[in-house]
Amino acid sequence: MATFFVSSQNGNDSNDGTSVGTAKASISAGIGLLSSAGDIVRIGPGYYPEASTITFSVDGTLENPMQIIGDPEAQFLTSDNPGEVVLACRNADGTTAGLFTKVLDFNSDDHYYIKNLTILSGAPGSTNARCVNTSNSDGIYFENCHFVGGYYIVYGD
């Protein structure tokens, strides 16, 4: 099990993400580091405009779920200023990056634990927008998360 770090305030996607001082800048780059059950991505306070849907490719287990943990108090990412951890499917200037239907796509991925995130729908006003897709997935758990916008907030079958 490994822990990775993401900081919109002090990170850079060319970093390796393995320490606070070498944090990635985008959530998608941090999630891309997940490789084995029980891995953790700690995300510092800030606004994360991801230009495309974030997809997952590695499963956790019931005993060792993958963890995506926001750090609004900057408890772990101590060089960041405290604040909300906001994930949005947007361009850096805040405009939508096209008609995205999902922000997080867990389609067929299992056993994830997501905590302390605000997730903004990628397609405001769309009757097909979804904040999170959990289709064909088992064990996707959310704690202290806020979902904003979207026709479906969490969608799955």
Q: What is the mean pLDDT of residues 21-46?
A: 95
Beta strands of the chain (E only): which ranges?
3-6, 40-43, 46-50, 54-55, 66-70, 85-89, 104-105, 112-115, 118-120, 130-133, 140-143, 146-148, 152-155
Q: What is d(CA 26, CA 113) in angstroms, rounded to the nearest whole number?
A: 19
Q: For residue range 87-139, what is the model confidence (pLDDT) as tens digits?
A: 887 655 655 555 445 677 777 678 989 999 998 775 555 555 566 777 777 88
Tell me the pTM: 0.85
